[in-house]
Structure 1
Amino acid sequence: MAEGLFGIHGTALQLRSQRMGLITSNIANAGTPGYKARDIDFAAALKARTEGLSNDQAVAQATRWRVPVMPSMDGNTVEMATEQTAFAENAVGYQATLTFVRGRIETLTRALKGD
């Protein structure tokens, strides 16, 4: 039902939320030896969802390991500048998608009320 009401934006919101969690995990593990940073290729995940894969399948298929510019001696691949940039970019996309979904909800609410 959510995809019917919100179209691709409902799916995009779910994917952006999952990507935010993954980026946050990377940041939280910046000091963990051997931790391998990952990210979700948002465009690939969204494409996979539109082709009929479940959310979990699409995320699994679109998850990529980060390749560090400057590998650390302890094997950790988190680079804070990269993670902060990805976090900010994803947050802007999340907010834009959320704004669209809220607008759609407001439109539906007004239609139901007869305003």
Structure 2
Amino acid sequence: MQISRVHGLMAKALDYRAIRQDMISANIANVDTPFYRSRDIAFEGALATEKAKLFPRPTGKLELARTDAGHLAGAGEEAPKPEIFFRDGHLARNDGNTVDLDVETTEMAKNTVMYNALVAALKKDGAIFRSVLDASAKT
């Protein structure tokens, strides 16, 4: 059961944040591996597309309604996917490794803060839903 329209979106964002944390950890673990190229994942665009589907702006175009995630998507509707890319903006060392420990630890800290914020938002969303259920059970 979905608590709110954004509940699924926040859950997907948590999944992507966890994947990003694993990728950053792998980058840090391979800091001394020759010719290793640091990787990252860009999922903000995919989440923005999903948000636009949940909260569409009026366009005068009739959108296909999907009442269940298992329903087939309409023609032209494709689920956005995150993009994995090599973070090559940094100079490679003599051994060809592109991992910059300062960048990786900074990105990990930012990702952790965002992950914790999403967890807190999901807890609050669930608490609101539970309070409504509790209040309705008392009457």
Q: TM-score range by the shorter chain?
A: 0.7 to 0.9
Deviation at 1:49, TM superposition (A): 5.1
Instruction: State how many pairs are aligned.
Output: 110
Q: Give the equivalent residue in structure 2 for 1:97.
A: 118
The range that moved more, 20-29 or 105-114, is 105-114
Q: Return the structure number with greater helix share.
A: 1
Q: Secondary structure at the match of 2:91?
A: coil
Identity %: 31
Q: Give the equivalent residue in structure 1 for 2:98.
A: 77
Q: Give the equivalent residue in structure 2 for 1:53.
A: 79
Q: Give the equivalent residue in structure 2 for 1:33.
A: 34
Deviation at 1:5, TM superposition (A): 6.2
AA aligned opposite 1:105:
G
Which of the pair has the greater relative contact order for Cα pairs under 8 Å at 6+ separation? 2
The range that moved more, 62-71 or 20-29, is 62-71
Q: Secondary structure at the match of 1:113?
A: helix
AA aligned opposite 2:90:
V
**TM-score of the aligned structures, taking structure 1 as reference length:** 0.80
Give the alignment's Cα RMSD to 1 decimal: 2.3
5+ unaligned residues in a row in structure 1: which ranges?
none
Contact 1:15 1:46 in 2 (8 A): no
Q: Give the equivalent residue in structure 1 for 2:21.
A: 20
5+ unaligned residues in a row in structure 2: which ranges?
54-77
Relative to structure 1, the CA distance from residue 63 to residue 45 in structure 2 (aligned partners, 3 Å threshold; closer, same or farther) is: farther
Relative to structure 1, the CA distance from residue 76 to residue 45 in structure 2 (aligned partners, 3 Å threshold; closer, same or farther) is: farther
Q: Secondary structure at the match of 2:94?
A: coil
Structure 2: distance between partners of 1:31 and 1:49: 38
Relative to structure 1, the CA distance from residue 5 to residue 66 in structure 2 (aligned partners, 3 Å threshold; closer, same or farther) is: closer
